Every structure is written in C-alpha cells, then in structure tokens.
A = this chain, B = another copy of it.
Amino acid sequence: MNASRSIGVFDSGIGGLTVLREIRRLLPNEDILYFGDTARVPYGTKSADTVRDFASQIVDFLVGQKVKLIVVACNTVSAMALDHLRKRFKSVPLFGVVEPGVTAAVGATKNRRIGVIGTVATVNSNAYRDRLLEADPRLTIVQQACPLFVPLVETGWTGNAVALLTAKEYLSSLKKKAIDTLVLGCTHYPLLKPVIRKVMGKAVTLVDSAEEIAGDIRAYLGLRRLRNNRKGKGSIRCWLSDRSPYSIRAAAFILKEKNLRIELKKF
C-alpha cells in the first residue's frame, strides 16, 4: 500500500461529512475522497439485503479510485453490512463507526448503564449492544430507535418545538433507566445535540462516533507508516449520487471548504 493514496469515506447521504471534517482536522495533509448516496438516502429504514447491495457498489467504486483505506461513516452500513463488506473486499481495510463508538462509551460510563440511539435498522441489528456486551458483559444496554431524527435534521428542524417534543417522546424512557452515557449511533444525531442534551440533562455523556473514528484512523496510519508526508493541505474530492440544491448547500455548510466542487456519480 502506498502512503500517497487517498482515504475513502462514504455515507448514505451528507451526514458522513461530519466524519470527513474530523479526519481532515486531525490529518490535514491527507487527500480524501467522499461518496454520499443522496439519490437513495435514507438507508436506516431499508433491509439488510438492500443496504449490503448499495454499500458494495460504493466500496467497489472507491476501490477503483485506489484508496488506501475506507471509512464507513454510516452507522446503518457499519451495523448491518461491515462483516459482509470485509469478506467481499479483502484488498482494502474497512473502518466502521460502531467499534470506536463502543470503545468510547465503555471508557465513559461509570454506572455501567449505556443508552444507544440510532435508526430502526441500526437498533434492530443489535450491533452496538452485542459489541458493548462483548467489551464488558456487566453493562446494562438500553436501545431506542429514533426514526424521525434524520428527517428532522434534513428538514433543518434541529432546535424548534417539534424537535424538542420528538426528542422527549424518544428519550424519556431512556432517561428513566438512569443511563450515564448515550451513544449517538447515527451521523445525523450530533446536529441534534442541544435538544438531546436538554432532555437527557447535563450529567449524561453523549458519545459522538465521528470524533472517535478520526483518532483511530490517525493511529492506524501512523502504525503502518501510511501517513501522507506531503507539505501543505490535502485535497477533497466529493461525489454525490443526487445533486439537489439542499445536498449541495448542506455539504458546503458542514465542510466550510471554499470552492468545493461536487461531482455526480450515478449507479
């Protein structure tokens, strides 16, 4: 593997750009390729079969771009399809967001009571619960699917009365279970942190996998001597499968990169 190759990152939509942003902050010299499947978003309400098909097409595309590793920035894909992808694509290391979230949550909890929120698909897969219990069988895990959180974020309703009422509906049962740590198991959820914080209270630690995974990638590249040692900033190349005005605006807002050119890639 060649250190000058790019890092590939993909997500069902534009939420994974929060992961790209963290990687760029920690590894500014790296070239990064991003693919967002905005034509088929969301994945979190769809079956494992479909999620695996879509993710395989994207990994195939990124492998063709000769990346040195791939970050699966989508929690639904990480939870439902990562093992499948690792078996199918052996030439490139694949990093999911579930494992770093698990490590961070186990490190943060004091009372061993952890909540996990995510899409219906992520929660039903039990990926977080199973890995948390592998890491520490004494944990108590409480899961809650929050299917309306992604559309709320995509609508831009992150701080209004509807967002707060929805957060109360989903989270009040978690609050009663006296958890001290809550895993935000979806790349969209960090954008709802203020209302989640309001419902859960200040004492609960919110775990955001985007922050965790960037540190893991830096450690991996350092150990393998795969860090790009060029001088100056790396490039960002971004493909979306649908270029709606919303997705272009949202991508620019999340990345805050000047002259970001978004290319169209259809499957």
Give the segment of A38-46, A105-113, A222-230 that binds chain B: A38-46
Least CB distance, A8 to chain B, in whole angstroms: 23
> Which A residues between 214 and 267 are near B, CB-CB below 8 angstroms?
241-246, 266
Collect the chain B residues with CB atoms within 8 Å of residue A169's CB. 160-162
Can you name the residue of chain B whose Cβ is closest to the Cβ of A38?
B46
Answer whether residue A93 sits at the interface, using C-beta atoms and an 8 A cutoff: no
Q: Is the CB of A162 within 8 A of B165?
A: yes
A129: shortest Cβ distance to chain B, in Å? 19
- Tell me, in angstroms, the Cα distance from A151 to B163 when the chains sit together: 14
- The answer for the CA separation of A157 and B54 in the assembled complex, in Å, is 28
Closest to A156 in B: B147
Q: How far is the CB of A188 from chain B (nearest CB, A)?
A: 12
Using a Cβ–Cβ cut-off of 8 Å, how many residues does chain A contribute to the interface with B?
32
Residues of chain B with a CB closer than 8 A to A53's CB:
266
Q: Tell me, in angstroms, the Cα distance from A46 to B154 when the chains sit together.
A: 12
Q: Give bound CA distance, A54 to B38, whole Å.
A: 13
Is A244 touching B46 in the complex (CB atoms < 8 A)? yes
Contacts of A242 in B (CB 8 A): 46-47, 49-50
CB contact list, A1-57 vs B, under 8 A:
38-40, 45-47, 49-50, 53-54
Min CB distance A231 to B, Å, is: 39
Residues of the B chain whose Cβ atoms lie less than 8 Å from the Cβ of A245: 47
Contact in complex: B45, A246 (CB < 8 Å): yes
Chain B proximity mask over A130-174: 1 for CB below 8 Å, otherwise 0: 000000000000000001101110110100111001100100000
Using Cβ atoms and an 8 Å threshold, which residues of chain B touch A39? 40, 46, 50, 54
In the complex, how many angstroms separate the beta carbon of A45 from the nearest chain B beta carbon?
A: 7
- Determine the distance from Cα of A38 to Cα of B40 in the docked complex, in whole angstroms: 10
Residue of B nearest to A246 (CB): B45
Residue of B nearest to A244 (CB): B47
In the assembled complex, the Cα of A240 lies from the Cα of B244 at a distance in Å of 25
Residues of chain B lying within 8 A (CB to CB) of residue A157: 148
Query: Complex formed: what's the CA distance from A266 to B51 in Å?
Result: 12
Which of B45, B152, B165 is close to A244, meaning CB atoms less than 8 Å apart? B45
The listed residue (B147, B161, B241, B246) touching A151 by CB distance below 8 A is B147
Q: Give 11 A-B contacts (CB < 8 Å), ordered by A residue.
A: A38-B46, A39-B46, A47-B242, A47-B244, A50-B244, A147-B151, A148-B152, A148-B157, A151-B151, A161-B165, A162-B166
- Name 5 extra pairs, CB < 8 A, besides A120-B246, A162-B162: A39-B40, A50-B244, A160-B169, A161-B169, A162-B169
